[in-house]
Structure 1
Amino acid sequence: MKTKRFVILLAVLMVYSYGWKVTEIEVGELFRDFHLVKPLVRELAQPDLFTRDKKTQVVEVPFLLSQSNDTPKLTESTGPRLILSSYSGEISDRLSVQGIGLEPEQYGSLYWVNAIEQEFPLGSFSTDSSGEFNKDITVPPSARGLRQVVKAVISWEEGGWQASETLSLTFEKMVETVFLALMATTFGVLVAVPISFLGARNLMTGSRIGTFIYYVVRTGLNVLRSIEPLIMAILFVVWVGIGPFAGVLALGVHSVAALGKLFSEQIECVDPGPVEAVTSVGAKPIQVIYFGVLPQVILQFMALSFYRWDINVRMSTIIGFVGGGGIGFLLQQWINLLKYNEAGTALLAIAIVVITLDTLSAKIRARVQ
């Protein structure tokens, strides 16, 4: 007995040892490059939920890159303006920039814009209570051409807090995701219910034709279940184009396979008594199913359908990564553009919806079972 246990233990250790090697597990990698992940996690943890109205003030003043003392033509203004200590000069010359009439008590940035409209930062500044600032700058080596521009940009927020554009777009796509999963589940249930009766052993193996149909249906369901929804989504995106319709088709087909198998297993577990009673009075096969089988499985069918909807909501996120619509498609775009604050908003919405639907699904299943 001890020898047998030792052999089993040794076999298990060998399996896991080989698995560790094949999967190239390196625990040290988790700690060595953790610093690379911290900025990403920090941004994901700060979702873009609410914002205020943003105002921007831009003021420019011309500058001539010339050895002469020419002065560009200036427009007289009493509003926001910049004043330079010199309006012409060469690279590396020192200039003093004075801002007048700008938004008071705000932070801003100075930029040098050369003749081909390339912008180069010169530093930041802050205005006082009267909207003025002074800053010394140097004509940068990036100055090219004759006419240059010194530009001051101030941005600030005002007004009350409101839902950000990111949050509004996320809400819109999250609603699309929920209904995408709902339509896919509905399609799956409508097709899976009749198929499940053909895939139930206790109903179909009474004759050669029935047995043949049973094995064909079960094999077909197993084949469809073996194909990941992600692969189906790629096929349907090519077929019908990018959008939620492709996601509905992919999840719907996979739901048919998954629910068809689960429904047929429920049918195989029914009490044979009512079935035999209905059959004994000369009922036809359809009547046997309607009066003897369906009343025993209808609640289980409902519970499994709600659970499948919950699963489809979660799966639709991944489907969106290949163009299947919903929040997943939006999440992929934000990640590709390195907009991790926006991606954090999408992840938060997904978590809230999944938790809500999971709780709702559990309560519904508890009631109908």
Structure 2
Amino acid sequence: MKKKHLIILAGPLDNQNAGVHRVTYEIIKGLHDMSECPFDITLIRDRDDGQFPKFKTAKIPLFKKLPGFQSFRLFFIVPLYCILKKADVVFEPAHFGPFNLPKKIKRVTFIHDLTPILFPQFHTFNGAYLQKIFLPRILKKTDLIIANSNNTANDIKKQYPFTKDKVQKIYLGVSDLFKPLNNPEVLEKLKITQPYFLSVSTIEPRKNIETLLEAFRLYKEEKLGPEKLVLVGGKGWKNNAIYSKINDHPNVNEIILPGFVTNEELIQCYSQCNAFIYPSIYEGFGLPLIEAAVCGAPLVVANNSSLKEITPFKELLFETLNAEDLKEKMSLSKQVKPNQEFIDSIRSKYNWKKFVTEFTDSISSLFKQN
């Protein structure tokens, strides 16, 4: 039987560095690594780097400097390509699409979170406005919605009740690259000295870094330990207040900002920290949680959204905006030492092979319904 033609809008591989990039890469890699992929796959990208030789790659450049071209590409060029190449199903891993496809072509949309809808104040005005206008239309026309957690699935159904019969929860996985490693030279290169607490996120308001900074001040004021605070991640938006608080912090000399790091460097940061702290106000999944956990780090996590669903360290949950509670959990984390059995259990629950199996089964089921 002829395989169905699956086109993946793989732009996040080329134009993003954060969580959406990582998830898109792992999904495509998982499909590529299958001994027998059930689909004939084409990737639509801004460039072709030969990363996935088993798949066709359609290079449709973004031309970012050409005003209006990105929208023209999204709404007209990409749909036309999908029609001409006789796609059976089109997958959008970055949740804004697919657009303008005939009904005979199945649409699959991945929703990472609903932060632009639920917390528009944490986004640029244009970004939140576009999501508010387009997302309901996208979800009405899509045939399958992939959600990365029960929390995200429930948020989608609550916000858009008409989606209740087409939302499928599939947990994300963690790459086999992430495991406990100890190479102090990597930390030296990043100018990180032990011991330290680690947090990994884009520097932006939703990540609640200001509460973490206040908790760190209290931790140091009460002389609870020698740890420094390492904040890994690139600059986001609306972050002037965050950087001001860092610069004015009484322990500014013990706060380290390496910026964006490679996967290899990130693994070392996870592996050698005393605890990983994730104070975010809302997450759809929280991929850094399981990455840090399989590297052997205790997780100090805000008690909200998917974070309380995903973290295995329930005793280290803290009230999201309560710096005093966070300080106490930072101190308590020293008593938690994950062992290999624990790490294996996390890897068993969250793995990309399992994700890809459920993902392909869910797409295949769209054609069995006909």
TM-score w.r.t. the length of structure 2 is 0.20
Looking at secondary structure, tell me which structure has more helix per residue: 1
TM-score w.r.t. the length of structure 1 is 0.20
Rg larger for: 1
